[in-house]
Chain A
Amino acid sequence: MSLVAVTRSEYTKQFSTVGWWVLAIVLVVYVAFTAGVLALVFGGVASGRLTGNGPTPQTDGLAGLVYSSASGVGYVFPLLVGTLMVTTEFRHKTLTPTFLATPRRGVVLGGKFFVGIVVGLLYGILGSAAALAAGAGVLSIFGVDPELGSSDTWTLVGRMLLAFALWAVVGIGVGTVVRNQVAAIVIVLAVTLFIEPIVRTLGGLVSGFSDVVKWFPSAASDALVGKTIFGAMSAGGSGSLDWWVGGLVLLGYAVVFLVIGLFTTWRRDVD
């Protein structure tokens, strides 16, 4: 089976350079820091040790909110790693030997798809572990139940792994459409750090707007995970998608990008 060989090749390709673990370390540090700070603030306010401005949040379900920061802020990492899986090939011209070894180009993209899921799941495990360790540690300092034994927590972790895997595949799609590595990274960061947060904030303020905004990728991702800091902070969580619809929407983005890329840049002459 050629697809198996290509997937093994892509796997070797992915894990024989330093890129994946550099991004993984940043992911772990970033998620642990975010989860720790959130646990400090929410835990502190909920336990009454810190004085909040608004109504005191309930300690119930607080742990899940803290843990969800893994996908809430960490989703950009599987997105980036997926994008890099494709744009690196363009940048270093390794697409030439890749297509020489596997002239059927669609199969190459298939191999990347599977390896993207593997890397996404790996990042999901690392991100979740970082959020759980930092979040649970800080929450227990304040005497808030970290809910590590709760099935809700582990359902949340499972959905986050799914979200991470899907984001990696979306990244592969983005990289296939935008083959310039610098452009792709700038687009990914601009969309995830500026455009989407601003539009989603506006969506929470203007009525009717939220019906559009909920279909945005990060909104779909939050819907898939179920809990989200963004949802908790922006008022009135009107019209969020069902979790499984969120997952399908995210998968839809990945498929649309991959198909566009497959019929445009992926078919082009390699030089």
Chain B
Amino acid sequence: MPEGQVLELTGLTKRFGAVSAVDSLDARVEPGLVTGFLGPNGAGKTTSLRMLLGLVRPTSGTATIGGKRYTDLASPLQTVGAALEASSFHPGRSAANHLKVYARAAKLPTSRVDEVLGLVGLADVAGRRVGGFSLGMRQRLGLATALLGDPGVLVLDEPTNGLDPEGIRWMRSLLRHLAEEGRTVLISSHLLAEVQQTVDALLIISHGRLVFQGGVEDLADPDEYATVVDAPDRAALSALLDERGIPYQLLRNGFTIRHLEPVEVGALAAGAGIALSNLQSKGASLEDIFLELVSGVRVHASAGGTTVATPTPDTALPDAGVTDAAIPTPAVDPLPAATPVEAEPEPVGDVPSAEPAPSTDMVAIPAPSRAARAASHPPQTEPEQPRPSYSVASTGVIDVVPSAPPRHDGDPVAATDDTEVPR
């Protein structure tokens, strides 16, 4: 039985010119678990995996498998199986010959070729040229290549891409089974929903930086709940809530109220004689939390060495992020009055002037970007009510950002959008 190994990334950094694709990434992947490696497109997932596998040379830092770098492994295919993309095949070579090529290189018996082809359900097309394969078949062949050496570590980049629903289910159960055998399984994806049911642990990166590390259950804060309430007479309900000073958010399905139990809301409405048409409690959606994490609206303490000293992301503190030297922003000066704050230097989608990287636009997701913008103007949107949290308009979920206390209200810079930097 092959042994699972611990994968360890330490200060892993890759720069392409001035752009940091991966920025001092520290992470640990344990055996016996399926670990999801998540992040939006362009977050640096594939680059990180390629550094782990010795295909891309890190600018600094190390990535090890059981304490060894990939290039130092005595028998790499028997230690780590990797499937990085569904296109690493010569179209004119048959599936069996493709596997035979790498079986030869790893000194594996060619009988192993038929075994893995059977395992991934490609035994019938073993002799067919890969050029005629569908994306799903290529994914299966990539997985077969990864399983060839019966490795203790599996690294799969977007393994469910192109699979039909049945194939996705098969892949999930296979990955679970492999992890239960004690192997280390690391799969990347840009969708939390895609891996949510499969993974035990999560690594989330954004703009090359770790924003979350931990179990799926750690992702959602149990204190974070909301009540959705609706009434035929919405005007009366909103008047009641305004009167009580209860913040709410009006969405298509009704009013979303934070930190209030349905029983409290119901009692309130009953007291005011308002008939309700809907009253339910709502947990935070993991997908929303994920989107907020990658957009920088939400900061999680598990982000290791990159974690903030203050729990406030730089979106709420315009003078925090730009003081960090790690951001490639030579043109941007910190605020003259700013004291250097050790803050999350995560570049956020809505500060294009502070982030010269062209990739910023690609990673910016409209919804969290708007959310981030909303977060950066607490004094303007809710000037008279500084609260520890406020709503995020598009997602319907609380973010945990407290209002920024040290704002220079007289400072013209603080009042403007934080994309405006003093020149």
Contacts and interface: CB of A to CB of B under 8 A. Distances in A.
23 contacts: A5-B105, A8-B105, A11-B104, A17-B92, A17-B93, A19-B92, A88-B90, A92-B87, A96-B85, A97-B102, A97-B145, A99-B54, A100-B53, A100-B82, A100-B102, A102-B76, A103-B71, A104-B71, A269-B50, A269-B55, A269-B57, A271-B55, A271-B56
A53 interface: no
Interface of A: 5-6, 8-9, 11-13, 16-19, 88, 92-94, 96-104, 267, 269-271
A5, A13, A17, A101 — which one has the most chain B CB atoms within 10 A of its CB?
A: A101
B375 interface: no
B255 interface: no
Nearest to B148: A101
A9 B104 contact: yes
Contacts of A100: 53, 55, 76-77, 80, 82, 102
A240 B89 CA distance: 45
A8 B104 contact: yes
Nearest to A89: B90
B258 interface: no
Contacts of B373: none
B359 interface: no
Interface residues of B, number: 33
Contacts of B105: 5-6, 8-9, 98, 101-102
B390 interface: no
Interface in B60-99: 70-71, 73, 76-77, 80, 82, 84-85, 87-94, 97
Interface of B: 46, 50, 53-57, 70-71, 73, 76-77, 80, 82, 84-85, 87-94, 97, 100-102, 104-107, 145
A103 B70 contact: yes
A102 B90 CA distance: 18
A99 B77 contact: no
Nearest to B149: A101
Contacts of B50: 269-271
Interface secondary structure of A, over-half rule = helix
Nearest to A17: B92
B55 A270 contact: yes
B89 A101 contact: no
B357 to A, nearest CB: 18
A166 to B, nearest CB: 26
Contacts of A92: 87-91
A93 B93 contact: no
B97 A12 contact: yes
Contacts of A104: 71
Given A93-B85, A93-B87, A100-B82, A270 B106 contact: no
A217 B55 CA distance: 34
Contacts of A13: 90, 93, 101
A93 B101 contact: no
A12 B113 CA distance: 14
Contact of B101 (A16, A19, A269, A271): A16
B126 to A, nearest CB: 13
Given A99-B54, A100-B82, A12 B90 contact: no
Contact of A18 (B71, B84, B92): B92
A101 B90 CA distance: 16
Given A5-B106, A9-B104, A269-B55, 5 more contacts: A13-B93, A93-B87, A98-B105, A271-B46, A271-B56
Contacts of A94: 88-90
Contacts of B76: 100-103
A8 B108 CA distance: 12
A97 B85 CA distance: 10
A216 to B, nearest CB: 33
Contacts of B85: 93, 96
A11 B54 CA distance: 24
A114 to B, nearest CB: 13
A189 to B, nearest CB: 22
A179 to B, nearest CB: 15
B100 A16 contact: yes
B102 A93 contact: no
Contacts of A17: 90, 92-93
Contacts of B84: 96
B89 A5 contact: no
Given A101-B76, A269-B55, A270-B55, A12 B104 contact: yes
A88 B93 CA distance: 12
A241 to B, nearest CB: 39
A96 B101 contact: no
A178 to B, nearest CB: 19
A6 B103 CA distance: 10
A12 B90 CA distance: 13
Contacts of A19: 92
Contacts of A102: 76, 105
A92 B88 CA distance: 6
Nearest to A19: B92
A101 B85 CA distance: 15
A89 B57 CA distance: 19
Contact of A269 (B56, B92, B106): B56
A176 B97 CA distance: 24
Nearest to A96: B88
A129 to B, nearest CB: 26
Contact of A103 (B54, B90, B91): B54
A61 to B, nearest CB: 44
B298 to A, nearest CB: 31
B101 A9 contact: yes
Contacts of A271: 46, 50, 55-56
Nearest to B102: A101
Contacts of A93: 85, 87-88
